[in-house]
């Protein structure tokens, strides 16, 4: 008799094999979830201001760049930056001790990712002198930030042959030792996927790189064309509407009045919704909760007080001048406050106004509705809004396109206003109420602004230009108190 080992019935082999497959599938599924989709909440922030500056809108899910790639790109590709200093050379506002610049959030969704939030365009910085410490103001205009150059930097790196697994991992290893599995993940998934995503996104921004389109420059973007071509994917036209980043503090005084430079949105909540969606925030129930929290914070946030000495005697002399020439348009509740001032009266550059159309408003409204979000609809207007002057000392340069460097020049006829200056330098000009815009350091760090470039006209808003020099000086001192 020949003895043979007992063999399990064929059905048991299949069950064992099936069990192994199931266990492997569960393991692979867990690893896939853990490495790609596991969401880790951000740590609590020390203040509401810090939450605004570094808190996530959850744009990391779809728009986030892997943190370690984001970190090393400026070291690998300094030639695509305007100067030394990494991201700071782009005017990004970087507080001492912070891991990221203001307006950047870091959150783990499978792996650490970096995305933007509202503060990237709405954080202001001020220095009293070149060697003085930097003061940061949440919700102020990010007048130093060159957002367009930030985009262009990433697109340029994606075209470089060094944007590959070997070179990027070698650079990462100089600052952090990735675990073996993460090295594999970066080499074969995250690095090639990030490269492809950047090249795809570059196509969405092709409109801003056409030869005849003027650069945004520091402290500005082309907001309505961004909406038309990026969020709604409308066909290109030949408009350009570069405009300053506005302040977004003290939104309670804007509730019920027209917002945006041309009054296209009559609700702060609607502006916040559209801005967050444009940054890549997912339109779900948590999104609406975040918008509600952001709306509450910005409505209650007071404008910052002027940080330098104020001549109270001049303030007293300037108050009646303000009442006569400014209050009817800029004081809450007055007859022209929050109204659209028609271009025939205002006379400022109209390119930003002409960028937006009724068709664009209808398309944007339909797009937001398709996401399941309800908000007050955008409209088309025929002028610019007379808004509040809260924190006006920190909102230079002036007019909607930032074409007038300081408040003193805004009280001069257009013929006397500076035609070429440098914007993006954050040393403060106390005498003229604005930022220093001339000189070696302003030229080195700033963006050359030429009022002859399309959309950069500095004409119009002639209110107060006939005042005496003494009354102008008194009015400027009073405006520091707003």
**Mean pLDDT value across residues 304-309:** 98
Give the pLDDT band of residue 209 (cuts 50, 70, 90): very high
Whether 32 has a pLDDT exceeding 80, the answer reads no
Give the pLDDT band of residue 26 (cuts 50, 70, 90): low
* Burial track 206-228 (b if 16+ CB lie within 10 A, e otherwise): ebbeeeebbbbbbbbbbbbbbbb
DSSP line for 345-372: HH----HHHHH--HHHHHHHHHHHHHTT
Give me the pLDDT at residue 71, please.
Answer: 98
Whether 3 has a pLDDT exceeding 70, the answer reads no
**Mean pLDDT value across residues 437-448:** 97
Q: How far is CA 219 from CA 69, 147, 149, in A?
A: 26, 8, 11
Q: Using CB atoms within 10 A of its CB, is residue 144 exposed (0-12), middle (13-18) or buried (19+)?
A: buried
Residue-wise pLDDT for 182-196, tens only, equals 999 999 999 999 999
Out of 31-35, 64-68, 200-204, pick the least confident: 31-35
Whether 429 has a pLDDT exceeding 60, the answer reads yes
Question: 290, 243, 248, 291: which is closest to 387 by C-alpha?
Answer: 248
Whether 21 has a pLDDT exceeding 80, the answer reads no
Give me the pLDDT at residue 1, please.
Answer: 42
Whether 103 has a pLDDT exceeding 90, the answer reads yes
Residue-wise pLDDT for 71-81, tens only, equals 999 999 999 99
Whether this prediction's pTM lies above 0.85 is answered by yes
Whether 126 has a pLDDT exceeding 80, the answer reads yes
**Mean pLDDT value across residues 396-415:** 98
Asked if residue 239 lies in contact with residue 333, where contact means CB atoms within 8 angstroms, the answer is: no
Give the pLDDT band of residue 39 (cuts 50, 70, 90): confident
Whether 34 has a pLDDT exceeding 70, the answer reads no
Extract the runs of DSSP E, i.e. beta strands, from 61-185.
65-66, 104-109, 111-116, 123-126, 135-138
Instruction: With residue 301 as reference, give the H or E element that holds it.
Output: none
Asked if residue 298 lies in contact with residue 290, where contact means CB atoms within 8 angstroms, the answer is: no
Whether 7 has a pLDDT exceeding 90, the answer reads no
What is the distance between the alpha carbons of residues 47 and 295, in angstroms, rounded to a whole number?
Answer: 16
Please give the DSSP secondary-structure letter assigned to residue 145. Answer: -
* Burial track 50-72 (b if 16+ CB lie within 10 A, e otherwise): bbbbbbbbbbbbebbbbbbbbbb
- The rounded mean pLDDT for the chain is 93
Give me the pLDDT at residue 2, please.
Answer: 45
Terminal Cα-to-Cα distance of the chain (whole angstroms): 107
Q: How far is CA 295 from CA 54, 249, 273, 405, 426, in A?
A: 16, 10, 10, 30, 28
Give me the pLDDT at residue 152, please.
Answer: 97
**Mean pLDDT value across residues 151-168:** 98
Q: Using CB atoms within 10 A of its CB, is residue 468 exposed (0-12), middle (13-18) or buried (19+)?
A: exposed
Give me the pLDDT at residue 233, please.
Answer: 83
Q: What percent of the chain has pLDDT over 70?
A: 93
Rounded to 10 degrees, the C-alpha dihedral 128/134/136/142 comes to 80
- Asked if residue 51 has a cis previous peptide bond (ω within 30° of 0), the answer is no
């Amino acid at each position: 008799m020949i003895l043979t080992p007992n063999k399990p019935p064929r059905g048991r082999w299949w069950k064992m094999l099936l069990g192994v497959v199931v266990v492997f599938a569960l393991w692979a599924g867990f690893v896939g979830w853990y490495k790609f989709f596991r969401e880790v909440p951000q740590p609590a922030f020390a203040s509401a201001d810090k939450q605004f500056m570094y808190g996530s809108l959850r744009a990391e899910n779809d728009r986030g760049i892997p943190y370690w790639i984001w970190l090393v790109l400026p070291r690998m590709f300094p030639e695509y930056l305007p100067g030394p200093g990494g991201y700071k050379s782009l005017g990004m506002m970087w507080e001492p001790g912070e891991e990221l610049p203001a307006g950047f959030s870091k959150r783990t969704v499978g792996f650490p990712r970096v995305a933007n939030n509202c503060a990237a365009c709405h954080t202001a910085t001020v220095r009293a002198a070149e060697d003085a410490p930097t003061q940061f103001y949440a919700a102020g205009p990010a007048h130093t930030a060159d957002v367009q150059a930030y985009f262009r930097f990433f697109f340029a790196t994606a075209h470089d042959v060094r944007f590959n697994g070997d070179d990027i991992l070698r650079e990462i290893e100089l600052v952090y030792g990735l675990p073996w599995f993460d090295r594999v993940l970066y080499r074969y998934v995250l690095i090639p996927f990030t490269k492809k995503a950047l090249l795809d996104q570059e196509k969405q921004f092709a409109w801003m790189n056409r030869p005849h389109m003027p650069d945004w420059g520091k402290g500005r973007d082309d907001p309505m064309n961004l909406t038309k071509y990026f969020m709604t994917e409308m066909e290109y036209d030949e408009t350009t509407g570069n405009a300053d980043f506005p302040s977004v503090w003290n939104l309670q005084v804007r509730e019920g009045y027209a917002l945006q430079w041309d009054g296209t949105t009559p609700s702060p909540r609607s502006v916040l919704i559209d801005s967050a969606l444009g940054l890549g925030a997912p339109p779900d129930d948590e999104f609406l909760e975040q918008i509600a929290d952001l709306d509450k914070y910005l409505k209650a946030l007071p404008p910052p007080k002027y940080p330098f000495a104020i001549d109270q005697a001049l303030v007293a002399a300037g108050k009646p001048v303000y009442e006569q020439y400014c209050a009817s348009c800029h004081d809450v509740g007055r007859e022209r406050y929050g109204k659209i001032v028609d271009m025939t009266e205002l006379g400022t550059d109209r390119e930003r106004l002409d960028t937006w159309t009724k068709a664009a408003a209808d398309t944007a409204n339909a797009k937001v509705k398709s996401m399941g979000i309800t908000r007050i609809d955008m409209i088309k207007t025929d002028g610019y809004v007379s808004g509040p002057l809260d924190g006006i000392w920190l909102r230079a340069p002036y007019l909607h396109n930032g074409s007038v460097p300081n408040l003193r020049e805004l009280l001069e006829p257009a013929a006397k206003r500076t035609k070429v200056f440098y914007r993006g330098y954050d040393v403060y000009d106390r005498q003229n109420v604005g930022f220093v815009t001339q000189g070696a350091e302003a030229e080195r760090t700033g963006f050359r602004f030429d009022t002859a470039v399309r959309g950069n006209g500095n004409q119009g808003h002639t209110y107060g230009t006939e005042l005496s020099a003494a009354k102008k000086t008194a009015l400027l001192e009073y405006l520091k108190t707003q």
